[in-house]
Structure 1
Amino acid sequence: MLRRIKYIRRLLSKLSSFAVFGISSLILGTSLFPLFHVLAGFSEKRFNMISRRFVNLFFRFFVKYIEVTGAMRLSVENRELLKGIKGKVVIANHPSLLDVVILFSLIPNSNCIVKGALVQNACISAIIRNLYIPNSIPFEEQLERAKKSMIEDGNNLIIFPEGTRSKPGEPWQFKKGAARFALFAEADVIPIYFGGNEKIGLRKHDKMLQFHPTERYMYNLKVLPSIPVAPYKDMPMSKSAILLTDKMKEVLEKEHQNEKVTQ
Protein backbone atom coordinates (compact mmCIF):
# COMPACT_ATOMS: atom_id res chain seq x y z
CA MET A 1 0.00 0.00 0.00
CA LEU A 2 2.82 2.42 0.90
CA ARG A 3 4.57 1.73 -2.41
CA ARG A 4 1.30 2.38 -4.25
CA ILE A 5 0.84 5.70 -2.45
CA LYS A 6 4.38 6.78 -3.32
CA TYR A 7 3.84 5.78 -6.95
CA ILE A 8 0.67 7.87 -7.20
CA ARG A 9 2.35 10.84 -5.52
CA ARG A 10 5.27 10.77 -7.97
CA LEU A 11 2.92 10.38 -10.93
CA LEU A 12 0.91 13.39 -9.77
CA SER A 13 4.17 15.34 -9.38
CA LYS A 14 5.07 14.46 -12.96
CA LEU A 15 1.67 15.54 -14.30
CA SER A 16 1.72 18.81 -12.34
CA SER A 17 5.23 19.51 -13.69
CA PHE A 18 4.04 19.13 -17.27
CA ALA A 19 1.10 21.43 -16.53
CA VAL A 20 3.44 24.06 -15.08
CA PHE A 21 5.69 23.75 -18.12
CA GLY A 22 2.85 24.17 -20.61
CA ILE A 23 1.25 27.16 -18.88
CA SER A 24 4.59 28.90 -18.27
CA SER A 25 5.72 28.37 -21.88
CA LEU A 26 2.46 29.84 -23.15
CA ILE A 27 2.89 32.94 -20.96
CA LEU A 28 6.51 33.29 -22.03
CA GLY A 29 5.69 33.10 -25.72
CA THR A 30 2.60 35.31 -25.75
CA SER A 31 3.41 37.94 -23.11
CA LEU A 32 7.07 38.06 -22.16
CA PHE A 33 8.67 37.73 -25.60
CA PRO A 34 6.96 40.92 -26.87
CA LEU A 35 8.19 42.68 -23.72
CA PHE A 36 11.74 41.43 -24.36
CA HIS A 37 11.59 42.93 -27.85
CA VAL A 38 10.79 46.31 -26.32
CA LEU A 39 13.47 46.01 -23.61
CA ALA A 40 16.01 45.06 -26.29
CA GLY A 41 15.16 48.19 -28.28
CA PHE A 42 14.02 45.89 -31.10
CA SER A 43 17.62 44.72 -31.56
CA GLU A 44 17.56 41.06 -32.60
CA LYS A 45 20.92 40.34 -30.99
CA ARG A 46 19.96 41.86 -27.61
CA PHE A 47 16.55 40.18 -27.77
CA ASN A 48 18.17 36.77 -28.32
CA MET A 49 20.59 37.35 -25.45
CA ILE A 50 17.82 38.40 -23.03
CA SER A 51 15.49 35.62 -24.15
CA ARG A 52 18.08 32.83 -23.93
CA ARG A 53 19.07 33.95 -20.47
CA PHE A 54 15.45 34.03 -19.33
CA VAL A 55 14.72 30.62 -20.87
CA ASN A 56 17.73 29.24 -18.99
CA LEU A 57 16.38 30.64 -15.71
CA PHE A 58 12.94 29.22 -16.49
CA PHE A 59 14.34 25.73 -17.17
CA ARG A 60 16.45 25.88 -14.00
CA PHE A 61 13.30 26.71 -12.05
CA PHE A 62 11.39 23.94 -13.81
CA VAL A 63 14.04 21.29 -13.08
CA LYS A 64 14.19 22.40 -9.45
CA TYR A 65 10.38 22.21 -9.27
CA ILE A 66 10.42 18.60 -10.46
CA GLU A 67 13.09 17.78 -7.87
CA VAL A 68 11.26 19.49 -5.01
CA THR A 69 7.99 17.73 -5.82
CA GLY A 70 9.80 14.40 -5.57
CA ALA A 71 9.53 13.21 -9.16
CA MET A 72 13.23 13.47 -10.02
CA ARG A 73 16.75 13.65 -8.63
CA LEU A 74 19.53 15.25 -10.68
CA SER A 75 23.29 14.92 -10.21
CA VAL A 76 25.95 16.26 -12.58
CA GLU A 77 29.52 15.00 -12.55
CA ASN A 78 32.23 17.32 -13.93
CA ARG A 79 29.79 20.24 -14.10
CA GLU A 80 32.75 22.63 -14.08
CA LEU A 81 33.57 21.60 -17.66
CA LEU A 82 30.44 23.47 -18.78
CA LYS A 83 31.40 26.75 -17.12
CA GLY A 84 31.74 29.57 -19.62
CA ILE A 85 31.69 27.38 -22.72
CA LYS A 86 31.03 29.17 -26.03
CA GLY A 87 30.66 28.03 -29.61
CA LYS A 88 30.61 24.30 -28.85
CA VAL A 89 28.44 21.44 -30.06
CA VAL A 90 26.98 19.64 -27.04
CA ILE A 91 25.85 16.07 -27.70
CA ALA A 92 24.20 13.47 -25.48
CA ASN A 93 22.39 10.18 -25.53
CA HIS A 94 18.63 10.70 -25.44
CA PRO A 95 16.75 8.35 -23.07
CA SER A 96 13.87 10.64 -22.09
CA LEU A 97 11.58 13.58 -22.73
CA LEU A 98 13.31 15.78 -20.14
CA ASP A 99 16.84 15.57 -21.57
CA VAL A 100 16.77 18.81 -23.54
CA VAL A 101 15.13 20.65 -20.63
CA ILE A 102 17.95 19.55 -18.29
CA LEU A 103 20.65 20.55 -20.77
CA PHE A 104 19.08 23.98 -21.29
CA SER A 105 19.01 24.45 -17.50
CA LEU A 106 22.75 23.71 -17.32
CA ILE A 107 23.93 25.74 -20.34
CA PRO A 108 22.66 29.37 -20.44
CA ASN A 109 23.74 30.24 -24.00
CA SER A 110 22.12 27.35 -25.84
CA ASN A 111 20.72 26.84 -29.29
CA CYS A 112 19.09 23.67 -30.56
CA ILE A 113 17.80 21.87 -33.63
CA VAL A 114 14.13 21.11 -32.97
CA LYS A 115 11.35 19.29 -34.75
CA GLY A 116 9.64 21.56 -37.23
CA ALA A 117 6.27 20.25 -36.03
CA LEU A 118 6.82 21.97 -32.68
CA VAL A 119 6.26 25.31 -34.40
CA GLN A 120 2.58 24.30 -34.48
CA ASN A 121 2.50 23.68 -30.70
CA ALA A 122 0.56 26.57 -29.15
CA CYS A 123 2.50 26.44 -25.87
CA ILE A 124 6.01 26.69 -27.28
CA SER A 125 5.54 27.95 -30.84
CA ALA A 126 6.81 31.47 -30.09
CA ILE A 127 9.87 30.16 -28.25
CA ILE A 128 10.80 27.86 -31.16
CA ARG A 129 10.27 30.50 -33.84
CA ASN A 130 12.27 33.17 -32.01
CA LEU A 131 15.23 31.24 -30.63
CA TYR A 132 15.85 27.85 -32.20
CA ILE A 133 16.39 26.14 -35.55
CA PRO A 134 13.56 23.94 -36.89
CA ASN A 135 14.63 20.84 -38.80
CA SER A 136 11.94 21.55 -41.38
CA ILE A 137 14.08 24.15 -43.17
CA PRO A 138 16.73 23.04 -45.73
CA PHE A 139 19.73 21.38 -44.07
CA GLU A 140 22.20 23.85 -45.61
CA GLU A 141 20.27 26.69 -43.99
CA GLN A 142 20.34 24.84 -40.66
CA LEU A 143 24.13 24.58 -40.96
CA GLU A 144 24.52 28.28 -41.72
CA ARG A 145 22.21 29.43 -38.93
CA ALA A 146 23.90 27.15 -36.39
CA LYS A 147 27.37 28.31 -37.43
CA LYS A 148 26.36 31.98 -37.19
CA SER A 149 24.85 31.39 -33.76
CA MET A 150 28.01 29.69 -32.50
CA ILE A 151 30.63 31.96 -34.05
CA GLU A 152 28.97 35.39 -33.88
CA ASP A 153 26.89 35.01 -30.72
CA GLY A 154 28.92 32.43 -28.78
CA ASN A 155 25.97 30.09 -28.36
CA ASN A 156 26.35 26.34 -27.93
CA LEU A 157 24.43 23.96 -30.17
CA ILE A 158 22.67 21.15 -28.30
CA ILE A 159 21.95 18.17 -30.50
CA PHE A 160 21.15 14.50 -29.95
CA PRO A 161 22.99 12.34 -32.52
CA GLU A 162 20.21 9.73 -32.43
CA GLY A 163 17.79 12.33 -33.75
CA THR A 164 15.05 11.07 -31.45
CA ARG A 165 14.68 9.36 -28.09
CA SER A 166 16.33 5.96 -27.71
CA LYS A 167 14.16 2.89 -27.97
CA PRO A 168 14.40 0.91 -24.71
CA GLY A 169 16.53 -2.21 -25.05
CA GLU A 170 17.70 -1.41 -28.58
CA PRO A 171 21.19 -0.33 -29.75
CA TRP A 172 21.78 3.37 -30.27
CA GLN A 173 21.63 4.51 -33.88
CA PHE A 174 23.68 7.70 -34.36
CA LYS A 175 23.10 9.89 -37.41
CA LYS A 176 25.79 12.06 -39.02
CA GLY A 177 23.97 15.36 -38.51
CA ALA A 178 25.66 16.31 -35.22
CA ALA A 179 29.10 15.66 -36.70
CA ARG A 180 28.29 17.73 -39.78
CA PHE A 181 27.26 20.71 -37.63
CA ALA A 182 30.50 20.46 -35.63
CA LEU A 183 32.69 20.12 -38.72
CA PHE A 184 30.95 22.91 -40.65
CA ALA A 185 31.37 25.36 -37.75
CA GLU A 186 34.78 23.94 -36.74
CA ALA A 187 33.37 23.59 -33.23
CA ASP A 188 34.68 21.05 -30.74
CA VAL A 189 32.20 18.56 -29.32
CA ILE A 190 31.29 18.22 -25.64
CA PRO A 191 29.68 14.82 -24.88
CA ILE A 192 27.31 14.45 -21.93
CA TYR A 193 26.18 11.04 -20.77
CA PHE A 194 22.66 10.62 -19.34
CA GLY A 195 22.69 7.78 -16.83
CA GLY A 196 20.50 6.70 -13.94
CA ASN A 197 17.47 4.47 -13.82
CA GLU A 198 15.03 3.61 -16.62
CA LYS A 199 12.86 6.65 -17.43
CA ILE A 200 9.57 4.75 -17.64
CA GLY A 201 6.84 7.18 -18.65
CA LEU A 202 9.27 9.54 -20.40
CA ARG A 203 10.70 7.19 -23.03
CA LYS A 204 9.69 6.93 -26.64
CA HIS A 205 6.16 5.52 -27.02
CA ASP A 206 5.55 5.47 -23.24
CA LYS A 207 2.18 6.61 -21.92
CA MET A 208 1.82 9.83 -19.95
CA LEU A 209 0.20 7.97 -17.02
CA GLN A 210 3.29 5.80 -16.49
CA PHE A 211 6.09 6.23 -13.99
CA HIS A 212 9.01 4.21 -12.67
CA PRO A 213 7.43 1.48 -10.50
CA THR A 214 9.68 1.79 -7.43
CA GLU A 215 11.48 5.15 -7.32
CA ARG A 216 11.74 8.70 -8.64
CA TYR A 217 13.56 9.42 -11.92
CA MET A 218 17.31 9.38 -11.32
CA TYR A 219 19.26 11.57 -13.74
CA ASN A 220 22.98 10.95 -13.27
CA LEU A 221 24.75 13.12 -15.83
CA LYS A 222 28.45 13.03 -16.58
CA VAL A 223 30.19 15.74 -18.62
CA LEU A 224 32.98 14.08 -20.60
CA PRO A 225 36.20 15.55 -22.07
CA SER A 226 35.66 17.44 -25.31
CA ILE A 227 36.26 15.83 -28.69
CA PRO A 228 38.36 18.14 -30.93
CA VAL A 229 37.38 18.42 -34.58
CA ALA A 230 40.87 19.45 -35.76
CA PRO A 231 41.95 15.86 -36.63
CA TYR A 232 39.00 15.59 -39.05
CA LYS A 233 39.32 18.96 -40.81
CA ASP A 234 41.49 17.92 -43.78
CA MET A 235 39.28 14.99 -44.80
CA PRO A 236 36.33 14.99 -47.21
CA MET A 237 33.13 15.84 -45.32
CA SER A 238 31.60 12.44 -46.08
CA LYS A 239 34.52 10.60 -44.44
CA SER A 240 35.11 13.01 -41.54
CA ALA A 241 31.41 13.01 -40.59
CA ILE A 242 31.40 9.20 -40.39
CA LEU A 243 34.59 9.07 -38.31
CA LEU A 244 33.49 11.83 -35.93
CA THR A 245 30.08 10.20 -35.50
CA ASP A 246 31.78 6.90 -34.68
CA LYS A 247 33.95 8.68 -32.12
CA MET A 248 30.96 10.32 -30.44
CA LYS A 249 29.14 7.00 -30.26
CA GLU A 250 32.23 5.24 -28.90
CA VAL A 251 32.65 7.78 -26.09
CA LEU A 252 29.03 7.65 -24.95
CA GLU A 253 28.69 3.88 -25.31
CA LYS A 254 31.84 3.36 -23.24
CA GLU A 255 30.28 5.39 -20.43
CA HIS A 256 27.06 3.41 -20.83
CA GLN A 257 28.94 0.13 -20.43
CA ASN A 258 30.86 1.47 -17.42
CA GLU A 259 27.58 2.35 -15.73
CA LYS A 260 26.21 -1.15 -16.35
CA VAL A 261 29.31 -2.70 -14.75
CA THR A 262 29.05 -0.56 -11.61
CA GLN A 263 25.32 -1.13 -11.07
Structure 2
Amino acid sequence: MDVLWMMPLLLVPLLLWTSSTFVFYFKKCFYVAWMMCLGLIGIPLSILKSGGRDIENMRVIRFLVRHVKYFLGLRFEVSGLEHLQTAGPYVIISNHQSSLDVLGLMEILPDRCTMVAKKELVYAGTVGIICWLGGIVFINRQKTHDAKTVMVGAAKTMLDDQIRLWVFPEGTRNQRGDLLPFKKGAFHLAIQAQVPIIPIVFSSYSNFYLRKEKQFKSGTITLKILPKIETKGMTSDDVSPLCDKSYDLMRSAFLDISAPVTQSNGPTRH
Protein backbone atom coordinates (compact mmCIF):
# COMPACT_ATOMS: atom_id res chain seq x y z
CA MET A 1 0.00 0.00 0.00
CA ASP A 2 2.84 2.38 0.81
CA VAL A 3 4.23 1.87 -2.67
CA LEU A 4 0.85 2.67 -4.26
CA TRP A 5 0.67 5.98 -2.38
CA MET A 6 4.14 6.88 -3.64
CA MET A 7 3.32 6.23 -7.29
CA PRO A 8 1.63 9.61 -7.96
CA LEU A 9 4.50 11.38 -6.23
CA LEU A 10 6.95 9.66 -8.55
CA LEU A 11 4.75 10.03 -11.63
CA VAL A 12 4.40 13.83 -11.46
CA PRO A 13 8.15 14.65 -11.63
CA LEU A 14 8.57 11.99 -14.31
CA LEU A 15 5.88 13.59 -16.47
CA LEU A 16 7.27 17.06 -15.81
CA TRP A 17 10.59 15.80 -17.16
CA THR A 18 9.31 13.86 -20.16
CA SER A 19 6.00 15.35 -21.33
CA SER A 20 5.72 18.92 -22.65
CA THR A 21 1.93 18.57 -22.78
CA PHE A 22 1.79 17.64 -19.10
CA VAL A 23 4.06 20.59 -18.27
CA PHE A 24 1.73 22.90 -20.21
CA TYR A 25 -1.39 21.83 -18.30
CA PHE A 26 0.43 21.61 -14.98
CA LYS A 27 1.73 25.19 -15.27
CA LYS A 28 -1.60 26.52 -16.52
CA CYS A 29 -3.55 24.87 -13.69
CA PHE A 30 -0.99 25.96 -11.13
CA TYR A 31 -1.10 29.54 -12.42
CA VAL A 32 -4.88 29.77 -12.20
CA ALA A 33 -5.06 28.05 -8.80
CA TRP A 34 -2.25 30.13 -7.32
CA MET A 35 -3.76 33.39 -8.56
CA MET A 36 -7.05 32.36 -6.95
CA CYS A 37 -5.21 31.74 -3.66
CA LEU A 38 -3.48 35.12 -3.91
CA GLY A 39 -6.87 36.70 -4.52
CA LEU A 40 -8.15 35.07 -1.35
CA ILE A 41 -5.24 36.57 0.58
CA GLY A 42 -5.56 39.94 -1.12
CA ILE A 43 -9.27 40.49 -0.44
CA PRO A 44 -8.99 40.99 3.35
CA LEU A 45 -5.68 42.86 2.95
CA SER A 46 -7.31 45.30 0.52
CA ILE A 47 -10.32 45.82 2.76
CA LEU A 48 -8.06 46.46 5.74
CA LYS A 49 -5.89 48.85 3.72
CA SER A 50 -8.54 50.91 1.98
CA GLY A 51 -11.92 49.87 3.34
CA GLY A 52 -13.23 48.70 -0.03
CA ARG A 53 -12.84 49.47 -3.74
CA ASP A 54 -9.85 51.78 -4.16
CA ILE A 55 -7.10 52.11 -6.75
CA GLU A 56 -4.52 52.07 -3.95
CA ASN A 57 -5.32 48.37 -3.57
CA MET A 58 -3.35 47.80 -6.78
CA ARG A 59 -0.27 48.13 -4.55
CA VAL A 60 -1.46 45.07 -2.63
CA ILE A 61 -2.10 43.14 -5.84
CA ARG A 62 1.28 44.12 -7.26
CA PHE A 63 3.06 43.00 -4.09
CA LEU A 64 1.27 39.63 -4.04
CA VAL A 65 1.71 38.79 -7.73
CA ARG A 66 5.29 39.79 -8.51
CA HIS A 67 6.81 36.50 -7.29
CA VAL A 68 4.64 34.26 -9.53
CA LYS A 69 7.08 34.58 -12.46
CA TYR A 70 9.65 32.50 -10.57
CA PHE A 71 7.30 29.50 -10.27
CA LEU A 72 6.63 29.56 -14.02
CA GLY A 73 10.28 29.93 -15.01
CA LEU A 74 9.86 33.40 -16.49
CA ARG A 75 11.98 36.52 -16.30
CA PHE A 76 11.46 40.04 -17.58
CA GLU A 77 13.86 42.42 -19.28
CA VAL A 78 12.55 45.98 -19.14
CA SER A 79 13.71 49.01 -21.09
CA GLY A 80 12.39 52.58 -21.10
CA LEU A 81 11.17 52.52 -17.51
CA GLU A 82 11.90 56.25 -17.25
CA HIS A 83 8.95 56.97 -19.55
CA LEU A 84 6.56 55.87 -16.80
CA GLN A 85 7.87 58.62 -14.52
CA THR A 86 5.55 61.08 -16.31
CA ALA A 87 3.59 63.11 -13.74
CA GLY A 88 -0.18 63.08 -13.60
CA PRO A 89 -2.72 60.90 -15.43
CA TYR A 90 -1.95 59.04 -18.64
CA VAL A 91 -3.20 56.10 -20.68
CA ILE A 92 -0.98 53.05 -21.12
CA ILE A 93 -1.61 50.86 -24.17
CA SER A 94 -0.02 47.46 -24.72
CA ASN A 95 -0.38 44.35 -26.85
CA HIS A 96 -2.22 41.39 -25.35
CA GLN A 97 -1.10 37.78 -25.84
CA SER A 98 -2.38 35.79 -22.85
CA SER A 99 -3.25 35.96 -19.17
CA LEU A 100 0.52 35.89 -18.55
CA ASP A 101 0.49 39.58 -19.51
CA VAL A 102 -0.68 40.23 -15.95
CA LEU A 103 2.77 39.24 -14.69
CA GLY A 104 4.48 41.79 -16.92
CA LEU A 105 1.90 44.39 -16.01
CA MET A 106 2.59 43.92 -12.32
CA GLU A 107 6.34 44.03 -12.98
CA ILE A 108 6.20 47.69 -14.03
CA LEU A 109 2.78 48.95 -12.87
CA PRO A 110 3.15 52.60 -11.83
CA ASP A 111 1.41 53.99 -8.74
CA ARG A 112 -2.23 55.02 -9.07
CA CYS A 113 -2.69 52.89 -12.17
CA THR A 114 -5.41 50.34 -12.83
CA MET A 115 -6.70 48.46 -15.87
CA VAL A 116 -9.60 48.40 -18.29
CA ALA A 117 -10.77 44.78 -18.55
CA LYS A 118 -13.63 42.73 -19.95
CA LYS A 119 -16.72 42.54 -17.74
CA GLU A 120 -16.54 38.74 -17.52
CA LEU A 121 -13.43 39.00 -15.33
CA VAL A 122 -15.45 40.28 -12.39
CA TYR A 123 -17.09 36.84 -12.12
CA ALA A 124 -13.74 34.97 -11.94
CA GLY A 125 -13.98 34.00 -8.27
CA THR A 126 -11.49 35.56 -5.89
CA VAL A 127 -9.54 37.01 -8.81
CA GLY A 128 -12.63 38.91 -9.93
CA ILE A 129 -13.26 40.25 -6.44
CA ILE A 130 -9.69 41.46 -5.95
CA CYS A 131 -9.78 43.07 -9.41
CA TRP A 132 -12.93 44.94 -8.41
CA LEU A 133 -11.32 46.02 -5.13
CA GLY A 134 -8.33 47.29 -7.16
CA GLY A 135 -10.56 49.72 -9.05
CA ILE A 136 -10.34 47.91 -12.39
CA VAL A 137 -12.73 49.41 -14.95
CA PHE A 138 -14.95 46.71 -16.46
CA ILE A 139 -16.47 47.09 -19.92
CA ASN A 140 -18.95 45.00 -21.88
CA ARG A 141 -17.18 44.29 -25.16
CA GLN A 142 -20.41 43.00 -26.72
CA LYS A 143 -22.23 46.33 -26.25
CA THR A 144 -20.38 49.18 -27.93
CA HIS A 145 -22.64 51.87 -26.46
CA ASP A 146 -22.07 50.62 -22.91
CA ALA A 147 -18.31 50.47 -23.47
CA LYS A 148 -18.27 54.06 -24.77
CA THR A 149 -20.28 55.23 -21.75
CA VAL A 150 -17.80 53.55 -19.39
CA MET A 151 -14.88 55.20 -21.22
CA VAL A 152 -16.50 58.65 -20.88
CA GLY A 153 -16.84 58.07 -17.15
CA ALA A 154 -13.27 56.77 -17.01
CA ALA A 155 -11.95 59.98 -18.60
CA LYS A 156 -13.65 62.06 -15.92
CA THR A 157 -12.36 59.78 -13.16
CA MET A 158 -8.81 59.99 -14.52
CA LEU A 159 -8.80 63.76 -14.16
CA ASP A 160 -10.78 63.99 -10.91
CA ASP A 161 -8.77 61.32 -9.08
CA GLN A 162 -5.44 61.72 -10.94
CA ILE A 163 -5.17 58.09 -11.98
CA ARG A 164 -3.61 56.18 -14.88
CA LEU A 165 -5.39 53.54 -16.96
CA TRP A 166 -3.86 50.50 -18.72
CA VAL A 167 -5.76 49.46 -21.86
CA PHE A 168 -5.27 46.57 -24.32
CA PRO A 169 -6.34 48.20 -27.61
CA GLU A 170 -6.34 44.91 -29.55
CA GLY A 171 -9.44 44.08 -27.50
CA THR A 172 -8.68 40.37 -27.20
CA ARG A 173 -5.78 37.96 -26.72
CA ASN A 174 -3.63 37.46 -29.79
CA GLN A 175 -0.79 35.01 -30.38
CA ARG A 176 -0.52 35.24 -34.16
CA GLY A 177 3.00 36.67 -34.25
CA ASP A 178 1.80 40.18 -35.05
CA LEU A 179 -0.54 42.85 -33.65
CA LEU A 180 -4.27 42.89 -34.34
CA PRO A 181 -5.82 46.15 -35.55
CA PHE A 182 -6.44 48.49 -32.61
CA LYS A 183 -9.87 49.43 -31.34
CA LYS A 184 -10.21 53.17 -30.79
CA GLY A 185 -11.57 53.33 -27.23
CA ALA A 186 -8.20 54.04 -25.61
CA PHE A 187 -7.53 56.88 -28.04
CA HIS A 188 -10.94 58.46 -27.51
CA LEU A 189 -10.24 58.19 -23.78
CA ALA A 190 -6.83 59.87 -23.98
CA ILE A 191 -8.02 62.70 -26.24
CA GLN A 192 -11.14 63.34 -24.18
CA ALA A 193 -9.03 63.60 -21.02
CA GLN A 194 -6.21 65.39 -22.90
CA VAL A 195 -3.63 63.10 -21.32
CA PRO A 196 -0.57 61.41 -22.88
CA ILE A 197 -0.48 57.86 -24.21
CA ILE A 198 2.43 55.64 -23.21
CA PRO A 199 2.82 52.54 -25.44
CA ILE A 200 4.27 49.38 -23.91
CA VAL A 201 5.22 46.37 -26.01
CA PHE A 202 5.53 42.75 -24.83
CA SER A 203 7.82 40.61 -26.97
CA SER A 204 6.32 37.50 -28.58
CA TYR A 205 5.73 34.54 -26.26
CA SER A 206 6.09 32.06 -29.13
CA ASN A 207 9.58 30.96 -28.08
CA PHE A 208 8.31 29.55 -24.78
CA TYR A 209 4.49 29.56 -24.74
CA LEU A 210 2.41 28.01 -27.53
CA ARG A 211 -1.21 27.41 -26.65
CA LYS A 212 -2.17 25.27 -29.65
CA GLU A 213 0.98 23.16 -29.48
CA LYS A 214 0.61 22.78 -25.68
CA GLN A 215 4.09 24.06 -24.86
CA PHE A 216 5.00 26.16 -21.81
CA LYS A 217 8.75 26.35 -21.21
CA SER A 218 10.94 28.72 -19.26
CA GLY A 219 11.64 31.96 -21.08
CA THR A 220 12.39 35.65 -21.14
CA ILE A 221 9.85 38.37 -21.90
CA THR A 222 11.11 41.72 -23.10
CA LEU A 223 9.06 44.76 -22.12
CA LYS A 224 9.78 47.90 -24.09
CA ILE A 225 8.26 51.15 -22.83
CA LEU A 226 8.09 53.73 -25.60
CA PRO A 227 8.15 57.53 -25.17
CA LYS A 228 4.82 59.19 -24.43
CA ILE A 229 2.60 60.51 -27.20
CA GLU A 230 0.98 63.84 -26.32
CA THR A 231 -2.71 64.44 -27.06
CA LYS A 232 -3.09 68.05 -25.90
CA GLY A 233 -5.02 70.07 -28.44
CA MET A 234 -6.27 66.97 -30.25
CA THR A 235 -9.95 66.46 -31.03
CA SER A 236 -12.10 63.51 -32.05
CA ASP A 237 -10.93 64.08 -35.62
CA ASP A 238 -7.44 63.04 -34.51
CA VAL A 239 -8.49 59.66 -33.08
CA SER A 240 -7.82 57.62 -36.25
CA PRO A 241 -4.40 59.19 -37.01
CA LEU A 242 -3.39 58.78 -33.35
CA CYS A 243 -4.50 55.14 -33.41
CA ASP A 244 -2.56 54.47 -36.63
CA LYS A 245 0.57 56.20 -35.33
CA SER A 246 0.50 54.20 -32.07
CA TYR A 247 -0.09 50.95 -33.94
CA ASP A 248 2.84 51.54 -36.30
CA LEU A 249 5.21 52.41 -33.44
CA MET A 250 4.19 49.39 -31.38
CA ARG A 251 4.24 46.95 -34.28
CA SER A 252 7.74 48.08 -35.23
CA ALA A 253 8.92 47.64 -31.62
CA PHE A 254 7.19 44.24 -31.35
CA LEU A 255 8.93 42.89 -34.43
CA ASP A 256 12.24 44.33 -33.24
CA ILE A 257 12.20 42.74 -29.76
CA SER A 258 10.61 39.41 -30.66
CA ALA A 259 13.73 37.66 -31.97
CA PRO A 260 14.23 34.14 -30.53
CA VAL A 261 16.05 33.95 -27.19
CA THR A 262 17.93 31.10 -25.57
CA GLN A 263 15.75 28.94 -23.35
CA SER A 264 16.73 27.30 -20.07
CA ASN A 265 15.50 24.04 -18.61
CA GLY A 266 14.55 25.42 -15.25
CA PRO A 267 13.25 28.61 -13.70
CA THR A 268 15.41 31.67 -14.27
CA ARG A 269 15.56 34.47 -11.77
CA HIS A 270 15.51 38.23 -12.23
**Does TM, normalized by the shorter one, top 0.5?**
yes
Partner of 1:54, secondary structure, is: helix
2:40 is equivalent to residue 26 of structure 1:
yes
Please give the alpha-carbon distance, in whole angstroms, between the structure 2 residues aligned to 1:9 and 1:135.
Answer: 34
Contact 1:114/1:132 (<8 A) preserved: yes
Contact 1:190 1:223 survives alignment (8 Å): yes
3-state DSSP class of the match of 2:155? helix
CA deviation string 1:171-195 (max 9, x = no partner): 5221111111111111110011111
Residue 41 (structure 1) aligns with: none
Q: TM-score, normalised by structure 2?
A: 0.76
In structure 2, the residue matched to 1:218 is: 220
Residue identity matched to 2:88: K
Letter in 2 for 1:16: F
SS at match of 1:123: helix
Shift of 1:196: 4.5
Deviations along 1:38-72, one digit per CA (max 9) or x if unpaired, are 4xxxxx7xx62541221222232xxx3322x3521
141, 144, 147: which is aligned to 1:139? Answer: 147
Equivalent residue in structure 2 for 1:152, among 145, 160, 166: 160
Asked if the contact 1:73–1:219 (Cα under 8 Å) also holds between the matched residues in 2, the reply is: yes
C-alpha distance in structure 1 between counterparts of 2:225 and 2:179, whole Å: 22
Distance change in 2, residues 1:199/1:20 (3 Å): farther
Number of residues paired by the alignment? Answer: 241
Matched, 1:122 2:125: yes
- Please say if residues 94 and 202 of structure 2, whose CA atoms lie closer than 8 Å, have aligned partners that are also in contact: yes
Query: What is the RMSD computed on CA atoms of the aligned residues?
Result: 3.1
> Separation in 2 of the partners of 1:126 and 1:178?
24
Letter in 2 for 1:34: I
CA distance in 2, matches of 1:11, 1:217: 17
Judged with a 3 Å threshold, the aligned counterparts in structure 2 of structure 1 residues 6 and 72 are, in CA distance, closer, same or farther, namely farther
2:175 matches 1:172 = no
Distance 1:259 1:101 in 2: 18
Give SS of 1:134's match: strand
- Cα gap change, 1:2 to 1:13, in 2 (>3 Å): closer
Q: Assess if the C-alpha contact under 8 Å between 1:57 and 1:105 holds in 2.
A: no
1:55 has 2:52 as partner: no
Contact 1:77 1:221 in 2 (8 A): yes
Aligned twin of 2:253: 255
Unaligned runs of 5+ in 2: 1-13, 262-270
Identity %: 24
Change (3 A) 1:135 1:223: same
CA 1:105 to 1:141, structure 2 compared with 1: closer, same or farther past 3 Å? farther
- Structure 1 gaps, min length 5: 39-43
Deviation at 1:15, TM superposition (A): 3.6
Higher gyration radius (CA): 2
Deviation per residue, 1:196-219 (Å, 9 max, x gap): 541665x7xx36x9324xx41321
| Rounded Cα–Cα distance in structure 2 between residues aligned with 1:253 and 1:241 | 18
Aligned residue for 2:238? 240
Report the Cα distance in structure 2 between the residues aligned to 1:152 and 1:252, rounded to whole angstroms.
Answer: 29
For 1:6 and 1:74, the matched residues in 2 are separated by 26
Q: Deviation of residue 135 (structure 1)?
A: 0.5
